[in-house]
Copies of this chain bind each other. A is one copy, B any other.
């Protein structure tokens, strides 16, 4: 691609570093910026800079936060003895949206994946184990995705804490609400039968 302006070329090159954005898309986005009022692009530029410079991670749960201890961890209305272990801050957002969980979170920052060169020490596992060892946690809920990497990570953490007094659980796997049985995969359908729940308790949901 031949650019008539070095400034344009540099902006396009930087934009195309982002995942899923190729040179053509980057050019389209940058040309859009040139058509919009200048303030809009300057606001984007500033927001990205400030975000990258000033964003913090909660020292307890490793969620993104503007302060040292995030809102969830510092809330008095939440059960600090119940911890939900998730991969990513997007999982925290997804679970928070359901309004059905009133404990705290622990963000691992990924899954153990030897293929991608991610070992236990690249994740926030040690601080979780420390919390358990200190006896502050009654229940850990594993809410990782059910892939080989997710299962490996669950099991690794489980082995580290099994000698301490903590109850561990994992989120229910089953047929999504509204899904047709005939299209469900065998493993999910099988698990949903094995882990069936009393009909009376389903009425309360």
How many A residues, CB 8 Å from partner? 60
Q: Are A5 and B66 in contact (CB under 8 A)?
A: yes
Query: Considering the complex of A and B, which 9 residue pairs feature the smallest CB-CB distances, nearest first?
Result: A11-B51, A41-B52, A45-B49, A14-B44, A14-B47, A45-B48, A7-B51, A11-B47, A45-B45
Does A72 touch B at the CB level, under 8 Å? Answer: yes
The quantity of this chain's copies bound in the complex is 2
Does A183 touch B at the CB level, under 8 Å? Answer: no
Residues of A within 8 A of B (CB): 1-8, 10-11, 13-15, 17-21, 25, 27-34, 38, 40-56, 58, 63-66, 70-72, 88-90, 92-93, 96-97
* Chain B residues closer than 8 Å to A48, beta-carbon distance: 11, 14-15, 30, 33, 41, 44-45, 48
- In terms of DSSP, what is the predominant structure of the interface of chain A? helix
Instruction: Report if A19-B28 is in contact (Cβ < 8 Å); known contacts: A44-B48, A49-B41, A55-B34.
Output: yes
| Bound complex: CA A64 to CA B9 (Å) | 11
| Bound complex: CA A41 to CA B18 (Å) | 10
* Chain B residues closer than 8 Å to A2, beta-carbon distance: 93, 96-97
* Chain B residues closer than 8 Å to A47, beta-carbon distance: 7, 10-11, 13-14
Instruction: Report if A51-B27 is in contact (Cβ < 8 Å); known contacts: A6-B66, A15-B44.
Output: no
Q: Which residue of B lies closest to A18 (CB)?
A: B29
* Chain B residues closer than 8 Å to A28, beta-carbon distance: 19-20
| Bound complex: CA A30 to CA B52 (Å) | 9
* Chain B residues closer than 8 Å to A27, beta-carbon distance: 90
Q: Are B33 and A52 in contact (CB under 8 A)?
A: yes
